[in-house]
Structure 1
Amino acid sequence: MVHAATPPEDVTRDSYIQTPVETPRHDPFTLNNRVVVITGGARGLGLVMGQGVIHAGADLAIVDLNYEEAEAQTHQLVAGFKKQNPSATRIPKVTAHRADVSDPASVEACIAEILSQHGKIDSLVTSAGFTENFDAVDYPIDRIRKLWGVNVDGTYMFATGVAKHLMERNSAGSMVFIGSMSGSIVNVPQPQTPYNASKAAVRHLAASLAVEWAHANIRVNCISPGYMLTALTEKILNEKPDLKQAWVSRIPQGRMGVPQELMGPVTFLLSDASSYVTGADIRVDGGYTVV
């Protein structure tokens, strides 16, 4: 147990009270004047987090394997921002970029394209990833390599590419890797061993790079979502109601999460409000991994 310090006998109580720190002159949760890159940003969790960061003031580069979908979402995001902020004096710049995150040349070209259009990159969210359900003894090795190429290699290559840019600018930055509670627990009843292992790798990548890049003032954190009710997940569960019951029965809050519940955590970790937070893993799972 840690106890509060006791003031010396010759020091009065009033003189020992700590002076309140100065309140920041700006909103520490704002992302004004930041350029945020989100991989896998054209759909699902990445798209919703993109919506969150532009409403916090950031410009956004959406990276996705499907360029046409990413391009369509840029218009939707800007239109949604204008509708919700009719008196806004500044409209966020949102651009679309294609990349195969598992291919080094594609990643390098994508980062160069983003820099040519935005001039800089301040923050990165690595949301590109996927899962599959195979019994381990039946999982084709080529599919395992593809899964790891996207989930792990893609996270690593985008992170190191953006870090090089930040170091060349001698600029601080913040990265958020999207892991999963599957990196800490074993999901049941579905078999997904390689996916679980890939997300454990993502979580440890965040911790390791946070330490390695702390000297450069580049923060790296991880968000590990639990079961989220995306459009794709909802479609699957509508066809398998028993699976949904199996999942929800293990969640202390008694429900699945919705993608909008990731807006707050990602904005916090990208903003100055979390300036002393690095190497952390924030689990957004309704308490699943606690029990």
Structure 2
Amino acid sequence: MRDDVFWGYNKQRILDRLRLDDKVAYVTGGGQGIGRAFAHALGEAGAKVAVVDLVLAKAEAVAHELNLKGIKSIALAADVSKPEDVQRIVDTIVARWGTVDIACNNAGINMNSASEDTSLEEWDKTFNVNLRGLFLCCQAAGRIMLNQGYGKIINTASMASLIVPHPQKQLAYNASKAGVVKLTQTLGTEWIDRGVKVNCISPGIVDTPLIHSPELQPLVQRWLADIPAARLARVTDLQAAVVYLASEASDYMTGHNLVIEGGQSLW
């Protein structure tokens, strides 16, 4: 009797289908915050992980953490806005582990300013990292994946792709993250029939050490009033999502923006 529900798809139980054993992943912006959490999650699920960060020391610290857990990892420094850096990290990973199966494009920056005061320098810097850099990573990793007929690309967007977070003013950031979603949707439709699925995760406001600075406390109280969950996101709230999107369990999902924001975009 063939019954995928009873026996499991390809005779794998659901938790087995979430495993990433023998897969090769990289995480940009992996030296801290969300990227660090993603690197740990992918590694714990069985993947080999290249931790990529602008600052090599930060990448090395996270790679060391992974090694302590018995996870195979390497640390790489790169400015994702530079095509030569992006190609170098992909080439290095392929030379080390033979391929790239999972591309977690998480690197991003946010520079707040009122729209009338936003300089062209701030606009360009934000878009160079958040959208140009993400495109370069998708393209470089995508070529490897298309050639092998399978791959998962997971981009970090933001709740700001759906709403205008307030009261902070961040025109360049909001626009760049909306671009990440549309890029994800476009690649998701172009590449799925060749085995490559492209999705993104949109976190809400994430609790980081910076959030606890005295000058931000009035903003935090305002944000909490706008969140049905009545708390900020933890990086650990995002880990299961990246494993799901990286695994074969999500093979029929592409071009999706997975929003994890405690309900904030609903009000």
Give TM class, smaller chain. Answer: over 0.9
Aligned equivalent of 2:104: 125
Give 5+ residue unaligned stretches, structure 2.
Answer: none
Aligned equivalent of 1:212: 190
- SS of structure 2 residue aligned to 1:102: coil
Contact 1:34 1:122 (8 Å CA) reproduced: yes
Among 28, 49, 52, the residue aligned to 2:41: 52
Identity of aligned residues (%): 33
Contact 2:204 2:264 (8 Å CA) reproduced: yes
Number of matched pairs: 261
Contact 1:136 1:193 (8 Å CA) reproduced: yes
1:274 maps onto 2:250 in alignment: yes
Among 30, 54, 67, the residue aligned to 1:65: 54
Q: Could you tell me how far apart the structure 1 residues matched to 2:161 and 2:207 are?
A: 19
Q: Could you tell me how far apart the structure 1 residues matched to 2:263 and 2:146 are?
A: 37
Among 150, 175, 178, the residue aligned to 1:197: 175
Query: What's the CA shift string for 1:204-243, capped at 9, x where partnerless?
Result: 11110000111211000010000110223333xx432211
> What does residue range 170-181 of structure 1 map to in structure 2 within 5 Å?
170-181=148-159
Q: Which amino acid aligns with 1:50?
A: A
Among 146, 167, 170, the residue aligned to 2:125: 146
* 4+ residue runs over 3 A deviation: 18-22
- SS of structure 2 residue aligned to 1:228: coil
- SS of structure 2 residue aligned to 1:176: strand
Among 184, 188, 198, the residue aligned to 2:166: 188
**TM-score normalised to structure 1 length:** 0.87
1:156 maps onto 2:150 in alignment: no
Contact 2:228 2:263 (8 Å CA) reproduced: yes
Give 1:165 shift: 1.0
Give 1:167 shift: 2.1
Contact 1:97 1:114 (8 Å CA) reproduced: no
Aligned equivalent of 1:104: 83
Give 1:20 shift: 6.1
1:35 maps onto 2:13 in alignment: no
- SS of structure 1 residue aligned to 2:8: coil
Q: Could you tell me how far apart the structure 2 residues matched to 1:259 and 1:61 are?
A: 19
Contact 1:45 1:230 (8 Å CA) reproduced: no
Query: What's the CA shift string for 1:108-145, capped at 9, x where partnerless?
Result: 11211121122211011111001111011111101210
Give 1:19 shift: 6.0
- SS of structure 2 residue aligned to 1:37: strand
- More deviation, 226-235/56-65: 226-235
Contact 1:131 1:195 (8 Å CA) reproduced: yes
Contact 2:66 2:72 (8 Å CA) reproduced: no
Query: What's the CA shift string for 1:167-188, capped at 9, x where partnerless?
Result: 22x2311111100000110011
Q: Which amino acid aligns with 2:61?
A: A
Q: Could you tell me how far apart the structure 2 residues matched to 1:155 and 1:217 are?
A: 20
Q: Which amino acid aligns with 1:47?
A: R
- More deviation, 38-47/114-123: 114-123
Q: Could you tell me how far apart the structure 1 residues matched to 2:255 and 2:229 are?
A: 26
- After superposition, the Cα gap between the structure-2 partners of 1:38 and 1:19, relative to the gap in structure 1 and judged at 3 Å, is closer
Among 251, 256, 262, the residue aligned to 1:286: 262
Contact 1:44 1:230 (8 Å CA) reproduced: yes
Supply the RMSD in Å over aligned alpha carbons: 1.4
Contact 2:33 2:208 (8 Å CA) reproduced: yes
Give 1:35 shift: 0.6
Q: Could you tell me how far apart the structure 2 residues matched to 1:264 and 1:230 are?
A: 19
- After superposition, the Cα gap between the structure-2 partners of 1:210 and 1:241, relative to the gap in structure 1 and judged at 3 Å, is same
Which structure dedicates a bigger proportion of its chain to helix? 2
Q: Could you tell me how far apart the structure 2 residues matched to 1:194 and 1:93 are?
A: 37
Query: What's the CA shift string for 1:242-265, capped at 9, x where partnerless?
Result: 111100100011111100111011
Aligned equivalent of 1:230: 208
Find the structure with the greater CA-based Rg.
1
Q: Which amino acid aligns with 1:179?
A: A
Aligned equivalent of 1:239: 215
Aligned equivalent of 1:250: 226
